[in-house]
Structure 1
Amino acid sequence: MLETDICILGAGPGGATAALHLANAGQPCLLLDRATFPRDKICGDALSGKVINELRRIDAALPARLAASAVQVPCWGISFFAPNGRPVEVPFRAHYNPAAEPAPGHVAKRLDFDNLLIEQVRQRPEIDFREGVEVARHERLPDGRWQLFAADGTVVATPRLLLIANGAQSAQARQIGGHVLEPAHHSAGLRTYYQGVNGMHPHGFIELHFLKEFLPGYLWIFPLPNGQANVGVGMRTDKVSAKKINLRARLDEILTTHPSFKDRFAQAQRLGPVRGMGLPLGSKRRSLSGAGYLLLGDAGSLIDPFTGEGISHAMVSGRHAADWAARAVQAQNFSADFLKGYDAAVYNRLWQELRLSRAMQRLLAYPWLFNFVANRAVRNPTLAQTLTNMFLDLDLREQLRRPGFYLKMMLGK
């Protein structure tokens, strides 16, 4: 049994980021994960500019280390496809030279990206990292500590503060944080890997296809090393139920019969099974803390409701969780009132972007309107850049406060 001030449940991007920031601050912590790394994680595998900036905040050398790795492909932009098939190709930079500058984004399997962070974790003596440890049950002791139990009933640890970063299916997020599945704020997703998909962009643009069959949601194709691609689909859970859609069957049908995909996938080989995932969306503001705990990443329902991106938001929440965990230890104050500062910090950084993404998600309910926006974005740099900024670490809050921003969008300038 370990008595510790801070215990982090889950060593994915949110938990690992929190642990590394705590280590940088000289604050010891216990990091637990039920898996043994490297391990796979169902995901789209895209690493946006926001992810790169969060890596830089952990260690200035990490972005270059990722860029030099063979496990990633550089990504220079996004290709959006409206329901009418109209493409909106938006590079992350207006003028870019792949041969002479670092890429603003990457795509890498979560198996490899998460392990990149875990390799950093293993090097830090401040982090007591324990793999293959599943917390099956928890109790709150009279003195305010948590008591964490393994499946066999043994006590794993008794921390003062629990950082819950163990994903979308977290029992602790439900039982401690009170987060429940709300179909209107949740997405069902599928992911598989292919070899030999034709027509991939030469500069690693990721593809988002907003097909009528999957609205409100999209089909994605993301390039990976060695000629592979991450292919998947996500759709809001309430719409899946209402439309009685079998996502697996529909994905197979689209890839083999739809004019946009049948030739591209004719000779492609599927690598492994189609795997499902649930995505709790940040389209609703929820409490992220309480007495003795903080919720991070997917466990905090922080996934972008339009783009489906969760990695960068997990890392942002991990950074702020480390900050407030260290403050709590220093003040010896683990109360709900004190830890509300964490909620404020996370939502101060993410809420405006989440609100904008929620508005874009609602737009998907009206394909004709989304077609109009896509057609306008082709000749409207402001709107095109807004779509792209959802994937980058550009703070939209200042723009959203300015009336001129909306005027430019309306006038097509």
Structure 2
Amino acid sequence: MRHVDICILGAGPGGATAALHLANAGQPVLLLDKATFPRDKICGDALSGKVLSELRRLGPDLPGRLSASVAQVPSWGIDFFAPNGQRLAVPFQPHYDKTVDASAGHVMKRLDFDNFLVEEVRRRPEIELLEGADVAQPERTTDGRWLLRTTDGREIASARLLLVANGAQSAFARQIAGHALEPAHHCAGVRAYYEGVTGLSPDNFIELHFIQDFLPGYLWVFPLPNGQANVGAGMLTKAVSAKKVNLRERMTEMLETHPALKERFREARRLGPIKGFGLPLGSKRRVISGAGYLLLGDAASLIDPFSGEGISHAMVSGRHAADWATRALAANDTSGAFLQQYDTAVYRRLGQELRLSHWLQRLLQFPALFNFVANRAANNPTLAETISGMFLDLDLRERLRQPSFYLKLLFGRK
């Protein structure tokens, strides 16, 4: 059995990022995952500019290596489709030039992106990666360490600190950290891969369709390499229950009957089944640490409430987890009180963004307002550019919460 200072559960973006930052600091770490990579993960597959920023922190060459991969396509923006059908094109970078600018986003299957990170992990001698390690619920021993056994009872490790990055269904987060599933702060989603979808953006804009009779949910279409697309639908679990929605059936129905989609999917072929998943959203601040442990990524319920983005937030939490794990070992203090500083660091970085996204999520209850903004922006380049900037500038995004923003729109001064 291994006796280590730090053990990480889960080698997805959060866990792999934490391991790589620890390795960069010269800290040995044990990384466990029940899967063997490459493995699939149900996700929208979009990688935002924040993902590239976090990759750059891990190694200056990583964004370039990702961009050079044939498994990704560069994405230059988002096409929003309002409930009235109005399209609002929002580039990630206004006035971009594909011949000289680096794209601010990418779309890449999680099968490939997670393996991209794991391959980087394999290069690092400081990291011991154990795949196929199906770990039962860790137990706290009398000396304050965590004992880790496989589900068949084999003891594999004892650790001072546990970094829990084992996903949205984390039993540790529920049973030890006390995170209950709250339907008002949880999203249900479905996803499938298609080929032969027509009308995709030549600049690989990702599409978000806010369809009137599917609100407060939305449907997405994200372009992928080789003529494929990631297609899915998501809705607050609270709304799914109240409306008695079968997401698989509704997604299929919308693709077959909605005026903006049916012709584009008429000759498309679905590649495999429609798979379901659940996402604990960051619309509520939770305690994400305790005595001897830190929660990362989806296990910490850090998913963006509006966009559903979780990869970059997992990587941000992985970076801060590595930092505070190192500090805790240096101080010889793994108490809950000391590790609470990790919570503060994570929410200092992500808290405002999560609050604003929660407010945007609530805007979906007012489709007429969504239609109004989309109609104005479609005919006002200055407003469209302002909305584009909101994806990179939180101060600009804050304006969406101010009544004066809509008054200016109403009276034509924006």
Global fold match (TM > 0.5): yes
Report the Cα offset of residue 369 of structure 1: 2.1
Structure 1 position 67 matched with structure 2 position 67: yes
Residue 132 of structure 1 corresponds to which residue in structure 2? 132
For the 8 Å contact 2:94–2:385, the answer to whether it is kept is: no
Pick closer, same or farther for the CA change 1:364–1:181 going to 2, 3 Å: same
For the 8 Å contact 1:209–1:220, the answer to whether it is kept is: yes
**C-alpha distance in 2 between matches for 1:288 and 1:386:** 34
Residue 291 of structure 2 corresponds to which residue in structure 1? 291
- Deviation per CA, 1:243-277: give whole Å up to 9, x if none: 01111111111111111111000011111110001
Gaps of at least 5 residues in structure 2 are: none
Bigger mean CA deviation after superposition, 137-146 or 36-45: 137-146
**C-alpha distance in 1 between matches for 2:213 and 2:338:** 46
Report the Cα offset of residue 375 of structure 1: 2.5
Residue 93 of structure 1 corresponds to which residue in structure 2? 93
- Equivalences for 1:179-258 in 2 at 5 Å? 179-258=179-258
Q: Which amino acid letter does the alignment assign opposite residue 171 of structure 1?
A: A
For the 8 Å contact 1:190–1:274, the answer to whether it is kept is: yes
Residue 159 of structure 1 corresponds to which residue in structure 2? 159
For the 8 Å contact 1:194–1:270, the answer to whether it is kept is: yes
Residue 53 of structure 2 corresponds to which residue in structure 1? 53
**C-alpha distance in 2 between matches for 1:181 and 1:353:** 22
Report the Cα offset of residue 345 of structure 1: 0.6
**C-alpha distance in 2 between matches for 1:96 and 1:144:** 54
Report the Cα offset of residue 2 of structure 1: 1.1
Report the Cα offset of residue 242 of structure 1: 0.3
For the 8 Å contact 1:380–1:409, the answer to whether it is kept is: no
For the 8 Å contact 2:73–2:108, the answer to whether it is kept is: yes
Structure 1 position 411 matched with structure 2 position 398: no
**C-alpha distance in 2 between matches for 1:307 and 1:403:** 16
**C-alpha distance in 1 between matches for 2:21 and 2:261:** 43
Structure 1 position 42 matched with structure 2 position 42: yes
Gaps of at least 5 residues in structure 1 are: none
Give SS of 1:143's match.
coil
Give SS of 1:137's match.
coil
Aligned residues: 410
**C-alpha distance in 1 between matches for 2:396 and 2:374:** 20
Residue 363 of structure 1 corresponds to which residue in structure 2? 363
**C-alpha distance in 1 between matches for 2:141 and 2:117:** 33
**C-alpha distance in 1 between matches for 2:134 and 2:383:** 45
**C-alpha distance in 1 between matches for 2:180 and 2:189:** 18
Report the Cα offset of residue 374 of structure 1: 2.3
Report the Cα offset of residue 405 of structure 1: 7.8
**C-alpha distance in 2 between matches for 1:359 and 1:403:** 9
Report the Cα offset of residue 147 of structure 1: 0.8
Give SS of 2:138's match.
strand
TM-score (norm 2): 0.95
For the 8 Å contact 1:383–1:409, the answer to whether it is kept is: no
Bigger mean CA deviation after superposition, 400-409 or 218-227: 400-409
Identity within the alignment, %: 67
Pick closer, same or farther for the CA change 1:402–1:210 going to 2, 3 Å: closer
**C-alpha distance in 1 between matches for 2:43 and 2:389:** 20
Q: CA RMSD in A?
A: 1.9
Q: Which amino acid letter does the alignment assign opposite residue 408 of structure 2?
A: L
